[in-house]
Amino acid sequence: MSIQVTWLGHATFSLKVDGHKILIDPFITGNPAVKATAEAAEVDFIVVTHGHSDHVGDTLAIAKRTGATVISNFEIINWLTRQGLSEEQTHPQHIGGGFTYPFGYLKLTIAHHGSALPDGSYGGNPAGILLTTPDGKKVYFAGDTGLFYDMKLIGEEGIDLAFLPIGDNFTMGPDDALRAVKLIAPQVVVPVHYDTWDIITQDPHAWARRVEQETDTTCAVISPGESYAL
Ligand code: NI
Ligand code: MN
């Protein structure tokens, strides 16, 4: 096993790659889907896909407490340093660019969404994450996004595991997420960003049946707190 991804709920993930601990979009405090606490989070790196409060979440507090390095777009990194995060603890990237970290090569991808920060500051463009682990596994986190045809380009890289939003209203809903699976053609897909609030309630098992009837992709429905390992 080279990578273990735990879905903490909503769009918050905890990754373990060869002993490195990574948090993605650590929205823990105030997240009705998450059972973990921000105070207990142990982490070496935090990745933030966009500026919305349900994604930036506890980034600042966890980074300050743990000394974790924060990876995000240039604008969000600048905002975090203005909030008091040490520059040495940051790594700005931008869409289309990747960098090799101890846990693999992390590239930011496009996402069609907003990225304003909690205080209204400009948060640049929202992103997805394409992670290539040291042993070559490719994991795609779409982030908050609508359907876009360039998902086909992401799929051309050969995706082992994809996490796609299905909640509708703020992101793709089940119909467009199914079309996304057809464009990306991952080995395995996991639905996320649903059921956190009533407005994004979905039936993930019904979606999984459609995925497996209409595509060659395996759909793994997991509950908050559960993991998927490759
Ligand atoms: Ni968002
Ligand atoms: Mn969101």
Question: What's the 144 CA to ligand 2 centre distance in angstroms?
Answer: 6
What pLDDT digit, counting tens, does each position of 127-168 carry? 999 999 999 999 999 999 999 999 999 999 999 999 999 999
Tens of pLDDT, residue by residue over 91-124, are: 999 999 999 999 999 999 999 999 999 999 999 9
Model pLDDT, residue 36: 82
Q: Grade residue 174 by pLDDT with cuts at 50, 70 and 90.
A: very high
For ligand 2, the distance from its centroid to the CA atom of residue 13, given in whole angstroms, is 13
Per-residue model confidence (pLDDT) at position 221: 98
Residue 40 pLDDT grade (very low, low, confident, very high; cuts 50, 70, 90):
confident
135 C-alpha to ligand 2 centroid (Å): 30
Task: Please give the full DSSP string across 170-227, using - where no structure is assigned.
Answer: SS--HHHHHHHHHHH--SEEEEES-SSSGGG---HHHHHHHHHHHSS-EE----TT-E
Assigned fold of 3-222: Metallo-beta-lactamase; Chain A (3.60.15)
pLDDT tens profile 116-135: 999 999 999 999 999 999 99
| Structural domain boundaries in the chain | 3-222
Q: What number is the average pLDDT over the span 195-210?
A: 97
- CA of 183: how far to CAs of 104, 149, 152, 193, in Å? 24, 7, 5, 19
pTM of this structure? 0.97
**Ligand 2 centroid to 171 CA: how many Å?**
8
CA 54 to ligand 2 centroid distance, Å:
5
Distance 10 CA to ligand 1 centre (A): 11
Q: How far is the CA of 142 from the centre of ligand 2 (A)?
A: 11
